[in-house]
Amino acid sequence: MTIGSFGSDEHTILLNILSESLGQFVDMPGTRKLISSDAFDPEGCFLAREKGAVVGCIAVTSLPRKNWLLIRYLAAKHAMSRIDVVEKLLERALEYVETRRAEFLRATTPAIQPYVDVYKGFGFKPLRRDFRITWDLGDTSNSPSKLIEINEVSEKTAREIEKRFVESLRPYWDWRTEEQGGEEAVAHNFRDGLKRGERWLSGHVGEELVGFAGLMPDYYKKGEARFRGTYVLPEYRGKGYGRTLMNEVSDWAKTHGQHKMTVYTFSYLDSLAPGALLYLKSGGRIECEYLQMQRA
């Protein structure tokens, strides 16, 4: 077995080995998008080959913050019986990280074996959990709400409210805001996301903006949306606005021909974060669990 560099024409091979090794744990649309972006460095992606066939992979990708790196896509065929392949892939990725002199490094992996224990064996410790949560919108029926006035955010109005969106992330998503390059970068990404097909709803009570909910219709395939989450401004939490926004966005999704929506959200190691709890209470179900890990 050899560990070699990723070829410029091997994107399909990478996608195939991830699909074969990890199955439903792979977000294929998100993976395709990332490996075609500037965050993906082919020199930081490695493939394990045996008798000419690819049997494993790993990648070191860049976070938006300078010199901040993320190890992901650690996967191998028949991993439980080929832990040596998994270990050698991670060892090679860490050698590459050393050459980059990273200021920050974390990893993400499906919460399945042997990957978790291999990461731990190299000094990584669990930091947070991630969930993929889905809703079957055909099973939901909500009563119209007069509590919140809902408006769709446009590119013209995005600049006016993007800073309030950043506020709605505090304090639970502060870690991600930092990884994304800071509050100004997150605000810009919110506005730029509308150009990429994201659709956001803002909720008002009287003159007061209380929160947001976002959706990307037909993201996975026709009728299957990527839910971008529901966020309530700190001063309005605990008043039931989050649940109302969830009802509104699920009804809005159905009016746009969506029968399923999926969100990726984080949680703490020992308890559910407020967002994950809200999603489960509103009828979502956990499909997959992942771990964010950081080297001690």
pLDDT at 255: 92
What are 151's two structure tokens?
């408006």
What are 150's two structure tokens?
């809902």
pLDDT at 107: 98
Sign of the dihedral through C-alpha 15, 20, 21, 25: positive
Q: Are strands 149-152 and 260-267 parallel, antiparallel or unpaired?
A: unpaired
pLDDT tens digits along 96-127 = 999 999 999 999 999 999 999 999 999 999 99
* d(C-alpha 219, C-alpha 146), whole Å: 30
Domain 2-122: which CATH class? alpha beta
Establish how many alpha carbons lie within 13 A of residue 116's alpha carbon, considering only the half-sphere containing its beta carbon.
12
Mean residue pLDDT across the chain? 94
> Is the predicted pLDDT of residue 180 greater than 90, yes or no?
yes
Fold (CATH) for 134-289: Aminopeptidase (3.40.630)
What is the residue extent of each domain of the chain? 2-122, 134-289
pTM for the structure as a whole: 0.93
- Give the relative orientation of helices 28-35 and 11-22 as an angle to the nearest 10 degrees: 150
53: enclosing H helix or E strand: strand 53-62
Amino acid at the residue 167: E
pLDDT at 143: 62
> Is the predicted pLDDT of residue 141 greater than 80, yes or no?
no
Residue the block writes with tokens 């965050």: 39
pLDDT tens digits along 36-62 = 999 999 999 999 999 989 999 999 999
Residue range 289-293: mean pLDDT, rounded? 98
pLDDT tens digits along 228-243 = 999 999 999 999 999 9
* d(C-alpha 204, C-alpha 152), whole Å: 11
* d(C-alpha 6, C-alpha 58), whole Å: 10
Residue range 66-71: mean pLDDT, rounded? 96
- First-to-last C-alpha distance (Å) of the chain: 30
pLDDT tens digits along 126-138 = 999 999 999 999 8
Percentage with pLDDT > 70 across the chain: 97
Do the two domains 2-122 and 134-289 of this chain adopt the same fold?
yes
What are 223's two structure tokens?
């009728």
Residue the block writes with tokens 């506005």: 191
178: enclosing H helix or E strand: helix 174-179
